[in-house]
Structure 1
Amino acid sequence: MANGLSFRSILDANKLTGPNFIDWFRNIKIVLKQEKKAYVLYGPILGKPSDDATNEENEAYRVYMDDLDQATCVMLASMAPNLQKQHKAMNAFYIILNLRKMFDKESYTERFNFSRELFRCKMSEGSPVRPHVLKMIGYITRLE
């Protein structure tokens, strides 16, 4: 990095173990956005240019593949060893698709539970407003 600023230490402290998929994915997006490589997570995957492609097309493909490889390495390095083994032959785009299949049901359940708590959240008569609002903000933040 030219400016020496790197958010990769976030991933060292928060490796993907499975149940923390939502938090891990948020951190992956932060790190890759800071490194200007987040676009590789959202597809479409560039196909290899044809033999008669221009130099610009070849260069764009090379840059894309380099960014995809770097994103894949960052993701694999921030996973628990068992998940690394499962995903070592995939690129970043397919890793995310597979992880969503594996853990989205858990994240759906987690989001449902936070939504339920948010909608059930009622302020007691005579109690201060500030703690109630902070509690609701916490639920909303978790839902994001």
Structure 2
Amino acid sequence: MSTQMNYAALIKDHVLTEPNYVDWRRNIKLLLSVEGLMSVLDKDEPEFPNEENPKSKPAYELFRQKNSKAKLLVLSSLEKTIDDSVKDLYLTKDMMEELKEMYGREERHAHHQLVTLLHGTKMAQGTPVIDHIMKLRNLFLDLENLGTSFKLNYKTDVIFHSLPQDIYGSFIVNYNMNKFSVKLPELGNMLQERGDIAIAKVDTADNLSDPMTKALPPSVFEKHVRNMGMKSMGDWH
């Protein structure tokens, strides 16, 4: 009973009203997935059983039951005027396709924005690498909810391209040479173990090791000597 009430609340909070099509589609697909009904969107209706093919009856009946339940959930999540435009369609799959035709422009715009963000995101200095990877992972998930599929290798390449090469370049080369293939959370852990440290360049004017390793202008050299607390022998008298 509590599960049904939770579903009712979820549907009530995400009724399709046209402008919210992208959010509605994501939530209704989540609901259908939890209910084990996604197959009615992915598969065609089985052939009607007959004397030549009596064994198809269980599969046919199961599909009809799932389709009826999925259709009820979808119709329950639609505003009245939208409901009227699709309620006569028999298959839930056809209803979803019709709604996509009617309101898919927002989805296409959202898809374009997500793709632009995905390929334009670079790891900011000071950001933990695992947080950066989770941010990109969420963008991939949002695109997958809009119907775009990605292979793991492609996701990995996009992530590697977004990392600062001066810090992670050698890791990326070794990863590719050894033909590793791990899921994104594990990839984040591997990169973190390699040292999630932002390497900052210290200017010669502030680097106290430079007097020991390179020739410097007299004024810069003298500044370093003072900062290190060094004195000439004559200063001790």
CA positional deviation for 1:70 = 1.0
Structure 2 distance, partners of 1:58, 1:23, is 37
In the alignment, is the contact (CA less than 8 A) between 2:37 and 2:70 conserved in 1? yes
Deviations along 1:11-38, one digit per CA (max 9) or x if unpaired, are: 2210112232222222222212222222
Q: Residues 82 and 36 (structure 1 numbering): CA distance in 2 closer, same or farther, change over 3 Å?
A: same
Match of 2:62 in 1: 63
Give aligned pairs, total.
138
Identify which of structures 1 and 2 has the higher relative contact order when contacts are C-alpha pairs closer than 8 Å and 6+ apart. Answer: 1
Q: Residues 92 and 117 (structure 1 numbering): CA distance in 2 closer, same or farther, change over 3 Å?
A: same
Match of 1:19 in 2: 19
Which stretch shifts more, 70-79 or 26-35?
A: 26-35
Structure 2 segments unaligned to the other structure (5+ residues): 145-237
Match of 1:30 in 2: 30
Letter in 2 for 1:80: E
CA positional deviation for 1:80 = 0.9
Structure 1 distance, partners of 2:132, 2:113, is 18
Structure 2 distance, partners of 1:51, 1:26, is 41
Is 2:136 aligned against 1:129?
Answer: no
Q: Residues 75 and 122 (structure 1 numbering): CA distance in 2 closer, same or farther, change over 3 Å?
A: same
Structure 1 distance, partners of 2:137, 2:20, is 17
Letter in 1 for 2:82: L
In the alignment, is the contact (CA less than 8 A) between 1:14 and 1:78 conserved in 2? yes
Match of 1:112 in 2: 112
Q: Residues 53 and 139 (structure 1 numbering): CA distance in 2 closer, same or farther, change over 3 Å?
A: closer
Match of 1:10 in 2: 10
Match of 2:77 in 1: 78
Match of 2:156 in 1: none
Deviations along 1:100-124, one digit per CA (max 9) or x if unpaired, are: 2222232111221233345455678
SS in 2 for 1:50: coil
In the alignment, is the contact (CA less than 8 A) between 2:49 and 2:60 conserved in 1? yes
SS in 1 for 2:32: helix
Q: Which has the larger radius of gyration?
A: 2
Letter in 2 for 1:108: R
Q: Residues 71 and 112 (structure 1 numbering): CA distance in 2 closer, same or farther, change over 3 Å?
A: same
| TM-score of the pair, normalised by structure 2 | 0.49
Structure 1 distance, partners of 2:123, 2:35, is 43
Structure 1 distance, partners of 2:58, 2:132, is 52
CA positional deviation for 1:137 = 4.7
Query: How well do the aligned residues superpose, as a CA RMSD in angstroms?
Result: 2.9
Structure 1 segments unaligned to the other structure (5+ residues): none
Structure 2 distance, partners of 1:67, 1:44, is 12
Letter in 2 for 1:106: E
Deviations along 1:58-112, one digit per CA (max 9) or x if unpaired, are: 2221121111011111100101111100001012010011122222232111221
